[in-house]
């Protein structure tokens, strides 16, 4: 089993600008956040294995997370040219997810169990196999914090990890529970 210092060292090696311990009690699974998913602005609701409703009910998710007692929040921050710098936002999100995959791979040898929660919906496959076939990459695909009903800024705040790094920046946050 890995301790926090090993996890933090690996997070730094993976290139995250910011990281810190997750306060497990900060994980509140809110129906209001899940309802934002149901608005389907990203066009993934009921179309992706890692999005609602396929990723499980809030009750199922809460039960799954109760098995864990340790966690880490990891973040990638980028500076925007302006408030509509979509290219930088997209690049930073891809970078966050690549770093997160790398961290998960490194931790598989150190931790007996992992429960990753990413930033944004899964985009591994151009078209998700949901609902007709099983997920093609179950070891690489994981729901986002929002899909699990978590209000990311509140989780960060309650864990003592900054969420906002100033005007002209965007930050993507992922969460990893481990034992």
Which tens digit of pLDDT belongs to each residue from 100-133? Answer: 999 999 998 888 899 999 998 888 899 999 999 9
DSSP 48: S
Facing residues of 19 across strands? Answer: 74
Sheet of 18-21, strands arranged across = 18-21, 70-79, 169-178, 114-117
pLDDT at 122: 87
46-84 pLDDT, tens digit per residue, is 999 999 999 999 999 999 999 999 999 999 999 999 999
* Nearest residue to 25 (alpha-carbon basis) of 75, 56, 59, 66: 66
Cβ distance 78 to 166 under 8 Å? Answer: no
Q: What pLDDT is attached to residue 75?
A: 98
The model's pLDDT over 128-151, given as tens digits with 9 standing for 90+, comes to: 999 999 999 998 899 999 999 999
Q: Look at residue 1 in the predicted model and tell me its pLDDT.
A: 46
Per-residue pLDDT reduced to its tens digit, 4-15: 788 999 999 999
Long-range contacts of the stretch 6-13 (C-beta < 8 A, 24+): 6/110, 7/72, 7/107, 7/110, 7/176, 7/178, 8/72, 10/103, 10/106, 10/107, 10/110, 11/72, 11/74, 11/103, 13/106
């Amino acid at each position: 089993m890995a301790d926090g210092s090993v996890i933090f060292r690996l997070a730094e090696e993976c290139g995250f600008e910011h990281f810190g311990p997750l306060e497990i009690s900060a994980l509140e699974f809110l129906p209001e956040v899940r309802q934002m998913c149901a608005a389907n602005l990203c066009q993934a609701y009921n179309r992706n294995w890692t999005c609602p409703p396929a990723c499980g009910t809030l009750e199922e998710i809460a039960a799954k997370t109760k098995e864990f007692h340790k966690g880490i929040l990891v973040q990638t921050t980028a500076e925007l040219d302006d408030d509509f710098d979509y290219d930088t936002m997209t690049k930073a999100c891809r970078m966050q997810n690549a770093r997160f995959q790398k961290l998960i791979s490194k931790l598989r040898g150190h931790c007996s169990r992992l429960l990753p929660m990413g930033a944004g919906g899964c985009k591994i496959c151009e078209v998700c196999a949901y609902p007709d076939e099983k997920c093609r990459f179950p070891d690489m695909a994981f729901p986002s914090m929002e899909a699990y009903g978590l209000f990311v800024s509140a989780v960060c705040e309650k864990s003592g990890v900054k969420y906002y790094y100033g005007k002209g920046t965007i930050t993507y946050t992922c969460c990893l529970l481990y034992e």
